[in-house]
Amino acid sequence: MAFKYHSISRKEVGTALSEINVTPLVDVMLVLLIIFMVTAPMMHPGIGVNLPQAETDSAPADEGLDVTIDKNRYIHIENSVINLFLLEQRLREIFSGKEKKVVFLKADTDLPYGFVIEIIDIFKKVGVETVGLVVDPKRDKD
C-alpha cells in the first residue's frame, strides 16, 4: 500500500476565511437601535397614581426622595414597596448622614386625607424639612 504525498501550498491554507463579514452584525445593531429609539418615549416609568389636579404646576426639583402612595395604600419609595409600619425606619436609613431632607409626595386622589397626614407626620418625625406635594396640572374642559 503506497501513500501519496500531497503538498499543500501556503496560498491554499490561508484563503478560506481570512476576513470576518461584519455587515450582518451592523444591520442587526441598527435595527435594534431604531426599535429602542421608537419605543423609549412610550415607556412610562413609575407607579400608576391618579394625582389631584391644580391650576399651579408643581415641578419637583431633582434633589429629593420620591414617595408614591397608590389608591390601595401601598407606599413606594423610589421603586420599592414599603410597609407603613417600617416607613419611619426606612426613611431614617435613607436620610442618615444627609444634610438636606426633602421628600416629594405623590398621593392618589382616592386616599383619605387622614392617611396622607399620617404619612406626612412620619416624614416630620424623621426630620424631613420640606415635603413637596406633587400634582397634575388642571386640564381645560374643551
Per-residue model confidence as pLDDT tens digits over 49-66 = 666 667 776 665 668 888
Delimit the domains of the chain by residue range.
14-42, 53-137
Distance of CA 36 to the CA centre of its chain: 16
Give phi and psi for 69, each to the nearest 5.
-120, 120
Q: Global pTM?
A: 0.60
Q: 53-137: what CATH class?
A: alpha beta
Q: For the ranges 1-10, 63-72, 93-102, which has the lowest average pLDDT?
A: 1-10
Per-residue model confidence as pLDDT tens digits over 76-122 = 987 788 888 999 999 999 998 888 889 999 888 889 999 999 999 99
* 42 compared with 133, residue with greater pLDDT: 133
Residue 32 pLDDT more than 90? Answer: yes
pLDDT score, position 89: 93
Is-contact 69 107, C-beta < 8 A?
yes
Residue 141 pLDDT more than 70? Answer: no
